[in-house]
Amino acid sequence: MKQYVVDAFADRIFEGNPAAVCLPCTWPSDQQMLAIARENQLPETAFAVHEGPDWHLRWFAPTGEVSLCGHATLAAAYAICRFAEPESEKLLFQTLSGPLTVRRQGELFELDFPVYSLKQLEVTDQITDALGARPREVWRARDLVCIFDDPRTVMELEPDLDKVKALKGALMQVTAPGTGTEYDCVSRTFAPKMGLPEDPVCGSGHCHIVPY
């Protein structure tokens, strides 16, 4: 079985969000995949197996299997198109979150990801204490999403990760509108429940942020 390390959401190495990609001929056991993810100690390890007309994709963090991961899907698509199917311009992945499509346009890869339905929650003192700043709004789907007005507040947050871990939601997404034309928003992802203080870039987090 070959394994690759791909830096997603970046145009050069040692930037973006790294993911390991394994392309076995048949599925390893769940215990083996978790052991590989723990050995890698990367945010995610993707396992992709070609079955029938499609690729089947699973993601493992060092703490266990996850239901959706954006950057590891992008990394898997890159590895497949680079090393397994260089002629492919479209990949369909069968996953725990349903079918996911990745399209290649030259050197660029485009993900088609699901939209989470958000429910608004009360802004509590517990959330404020965990983040060290009071968000304007709080929403929840898979993750907890905290909305701030000022992007500088988002960038300067120093959350108490033990308190973040005690909150609802798989991950903590924090975001604010961008200040100019270069970015629509700024965002950060805190992931202590997955064994990560902060995820460098979270693709599935934007399945929450973009609908908002």
**pLDDT the model gives residue 190:** 98
Q: Quick check: 77 pLDDT over 90?
A: yes
Q: Are 93 and 102 in contact (CB under 8 A)?
A: yes
Q: Where in the sequence of the chain do the CATH 3.10.310.10 domains occur? A: 2-112, 119-209
pLDDT value, residue 50:
96
User: What's the pLDDT at 51?
Assistant: 93
pLDDT computed for residue 107 by the predictor: 87
Which is the catalytic residue, given 15, 44, 110, 137?
Answer: 44
Residues 96-136 have pLDDT tens digits of: 999 999 999 988 999 999 899 999 999 999 999 999 999 99
3-class state of residue 70 by DSSP: helix
Q: Which CATH architecture has domain 2-112?
A: Roll (3.10)
Class of domain 119-209: alpha beta
CA dist 209 → 75, 105, 118, 128, 144 (Å): 21, 25, 9, 19, 10
Assess whether 51 carries a catalytic annotation. no
Tens of pLDDT, residues 11-49: 888 999 999 999 999 999 999 999 999 999 999 999 999
**Average of per-residue pLDDT across 56-81:** 96
Alpha-carbon gap, residue 172 to 189, rounded angstroms: 6
Which residues are CB-contacts of 198 (< 8 A; sequence separation ≥ 6)? Answer: 188, 189, 190, 191
